């Protein structure tokens, strides 16, 4: 699949180069000029290749790919101008730090990309210089954020206004915070495996209630004993803290009656059904409803910090659950607790707006001409 993607990228790149350019001389045509500095085809070949490879598809028309290429040239010029502006403001790229980041990125690609850094370059049809220049553009954006952060001020009034207008983001509803840990069962039709898992979780519960272990230690132990290499892939997914709003918890005064009601809502339940059949899916859904029902019952009948007295069977295996906190009345998180969060959010939004506006104004503050935009007379 990666090799196919590589071929597609190369074909896209080659197709657009023929459309946009007709080379002349060693550096190719002049495509743009900023502050009396010419931008040659050679200067932007890498960024054009990369933009085409990452934005075009095999269905893209020549016109669409040409527009992508033009955008790549504009991006190249914009960041050159941004670098000049930042230098005037006293912000420059640390070249030693940039070289260190480049080495780290190449090492990362060698470790994680099939074929390593060299194949990554081949896939996007870029030279050795491209990655460093791309990282430079990231650093320039970060430097602008640093500059803007020093100039942006977020007032208490703005923070308060945001809090009031987005009050529901800070709603603190009544409900139950609880933690679950799963001991996965690979085959619920295997009575011996089910019995072993249930007994193991019962033993863990006794250890927890006796003060010899915690639910966190149980999770750690289970993850060590039942690994993904052995096919146990659900423990991490289904274990952890959960919040259930009080409005979602069905009142269950009689667990046996509630479970019987669940069973009555299904027809032809078959615990021995084969996987990948409708009967099996129905039975898994039934187990899920039973699990939810017993969780609701447990949440309403435990004290905060208490572990439920028995493991609960679900479609994935056996769970141990613990009630962590109960909030009986709904409310809102106080402004003072989220003030810093709101200030950071507003500051980041302001900086993003400033960055976009600055890039849009670059051609007004500098002499820039894109030769491919000049009408042919």
CATH of the domain at 181: 3.10.50
Domain check: are 127 and 198 in the same one?
no
Check whether residue 190 and residue 276 sit in a common domain.
yes
By three-state DSSP, how is residue 22 classified?
coil
314 and 337 in contact (C-beta within 8 Å)? no
pLDDT at residue 102 is higher than 70:
yes
Distance CA 375, CA 377 (A): 6
pLDDT value at position 275?
87
Tell me which residue range forms the domain holding 38: 2-143+353-373
CA trace torsion 272, 273, 275, 278 (10° rounding)? -160
Q: Is residue 166 part of a domain?
A: no
Both 221 and 287 in a single domain?
Answer: yes
Q: Do 268 and 317 have their domain in common?
A: yes
Q: Is the pLDDT of residue 304 over 70?
A: yes
CA distance 249 to 293: 9
In this structure, the answer to whether residues 191 and 316 fall within a common structural domain is: yes
More confident residue, 70 or 372: 70
At 3 the pLDDT is: 47
> Percent of the chain beyond pLDDT 70?
92
Task: Work out whether strand 312-313 and strand 30-34 pair parallel, antiparallel, or are unpaired.
Answer: unpaired
- The pLDDT tens digits of the residues spanning 125-137 come to 999 999 999 999 9
| H or E segment and range at residue 360 | helix 335-365
Average pLDDT over residues 139-166: 94
Instruction: Report yes or no: 193 and 185 within 8 Å, Cβ to Cβ.
Output: yes
CATH number of 113's domain: 1.10.4030
- Contacts (Cβ under 8 Å, ≥6 apart) of 44: 31, 72, 73, 76
Pair 114, 236 in one domain: no
The pLDDT confidence band at residue 287, using thresholds 50, 70 and 90, is very high
- pLDDT category of residue 4 using cuts at 50, 70 and 90: very low
CA dist 351 → 48, 330, 347 (Å): 27, 35, 6
Q: Report the alpha-carbon distance of residue 139 to residue 142 in Å, rounded.
A: 5
Of 99, 275, 82, the residue nearest 190 (C-alpha): 275
Q: Would you list the DSSP string of 206-265?
A: HHHHTTS--HHHHHHHHHHHS-GGGT--SHHHH-EEEEEEGGGS---S-HHHHHHHHHHT
Higher pLDDT, 179 or 2: 179
CA 355/CA 353 separation, integer angstroms: 5
Q: Which pLDDT belongs to residue 373? A: 64
Relative orientation angle of helices 128-151 and 41-55, to the nearest 10 degrees: 80
Strands ordered across the beta sheet of 175-184: 240-245, 175-184, 317-327, 312-313
Instruction: Please state the domain count of the chain.
Output: 2
Residues 133 and 186 in one domain: no
Beta bridge partners of 34: 37, 368
pLDDT of 266 strictly over 80: yes
Q: Where is average pLDDT lowest: 103-112, 168-177, 285-294, 313-322?
A: 168-177
CA distance 329 to 171: 11
> Do residue 220 and residue 98 come from a single domain?
no
17 and 73 share one domain: yes
pLDDT for res 17: 45
* Mean pLDDT of the region 212-223: 95
Query: Do 192 and 83 reside in the same domain of the chain?
Result: no
- What's the confidence (pLDDT) of residue 79? 96
Q: Do residues 55 and 195 both lie within one domain? A: no
* 258, 297 contact by CB (below 8 A): yes
204-216: average pLDDT: 95
Instruction: Give the pLDDT band of residue 374 (cuts 50, 70, 90).
Output: low
Residue 365 has pLDDT above 60, yes or no: yes
Residue 123 in any domain: the answer is yes
pLDDT 10s digits, 22-68: 444 578 899 999 999 999 999 999 999 999 999 988 888 999 999 99
pLDDT of residue 24: 47
User: Region 259-271: what's the mean pLDDT?
Assistant: 92
Position 159 in a domain:
no
The first and second tokens of residue 44, run together, are 């932007």
CA distances (Å), 299 to each of 152, 176, 249, 252, 296, in order?
47, 7, 9, 10, 5
Which string of b and e fits 110-145 if b means at least 16 CB within 10 Å? eeeeeeebebbbebbbbeeebbebbbbbebbeebbb
Whether residue 226 is contained in a domain is answered as: yes
Q: What is the pLDDT of residue 363?
A: 80
The answer to whether 249 touches 296, Cβ cutoff 8 Å, is yes
pLDDT digits (tens, 9 = 90+) for 332-355: 999 999 999 999 999 999 999 999
- Note whether residue 194 is domain-resident: yes
Confidence at residue 7, expressed as pLDDT on a 0 to 100 scale:
40
What is the reported pLDDT for 243?
95
Residue 325's H or E segment, with its range, is strand 317-327
Residue 165 forms part of a structural domain: no
pLDDT at 57 (0 to 100): 87
**pTM value > 0.85:** no
Are residues 11 and 120 located together in one domain of the fold? yes
Mean pLDDT score of the chain, rounded to an integer? 90
Q: Is 35 left (phi over 0), alpha (psi -120 to 50) or beta?
A: left
Backbone angles phi, psi at 184, to 5 degrees: -65, 145
């Amino acid at each position: 699949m990666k090799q196919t993607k590589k071929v597609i990228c190369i074909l896209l790149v080659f197709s657009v180069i023929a459309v946009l350019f007709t080379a002349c001389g060693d550096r190719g045509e002049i495509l743009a000029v900023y502050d009396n500095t010419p931008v040659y085809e050679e200067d932007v070949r890498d960024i054009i290749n990369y933009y085409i490879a990452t934005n075009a598809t095999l269905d893209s028309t020549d016109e669409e790919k040409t527009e992508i290429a033009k955008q790549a040239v504009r991006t190249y010029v914009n960041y050159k101008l941004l670098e000049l502006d930042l230098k005037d403001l006293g912000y420059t790229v640390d070249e030693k730090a940039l070289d260190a980041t480049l080495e780290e990125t190449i090492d990362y690609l060698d470790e994680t990309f099939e074929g390593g850094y060299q194949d990554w370059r081949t896939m996007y049809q870029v030279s050795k210089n491209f990655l460093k220049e791309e990282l430079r553009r990231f650093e320039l954006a970060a430097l602008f954020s640093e500059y803007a952060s020093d100039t942006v001020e977020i007032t208490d009034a703005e923070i308060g206004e945001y809090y009031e207008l987005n009050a529901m983001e800070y709603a603190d509803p009544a409900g139950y915070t609880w933690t679950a840990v799963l001991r996965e069962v690979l085959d619920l039709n295997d009575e011996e495996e089910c019995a072993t898992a249930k007994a193991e979780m019962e033993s863990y519960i006794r250890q927890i209630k006796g003060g010899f272990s915690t639910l966190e230690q149980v999770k750690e132990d289970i993850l060590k004993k039942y690994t993904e290499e052995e096919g146990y892939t659900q423990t991490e997914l289904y274990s952890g803290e959960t919040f259930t709003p009080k409005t979602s918890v069905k009142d269950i005064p009689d667990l046996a009656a509630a479970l019987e009601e669940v069973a009555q809502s299904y027809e032809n339940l078959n615990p021995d059904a084969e996987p990948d059949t409708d009967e099996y899916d129905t039975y898994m859904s039934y187990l899920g409803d039973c699990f939810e029902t017993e969780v609701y019952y447990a949440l309403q009948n435990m004290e905060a910090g208490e572990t439920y007295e028995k493991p609960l069977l679900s479609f994935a295996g056996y769970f141990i659950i613990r009630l962590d906190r109960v909030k009986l009345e709904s409310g809102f998180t106080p402004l003072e607790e989220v003030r810093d969060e709101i200030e950071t959010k507003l500051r980041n939004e302001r900086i993003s707006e400033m960055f976009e506006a600055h890039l849009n104004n670059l051609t007004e503050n500098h002499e820039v001409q894109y030769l491919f935009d000049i009408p042919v007379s």
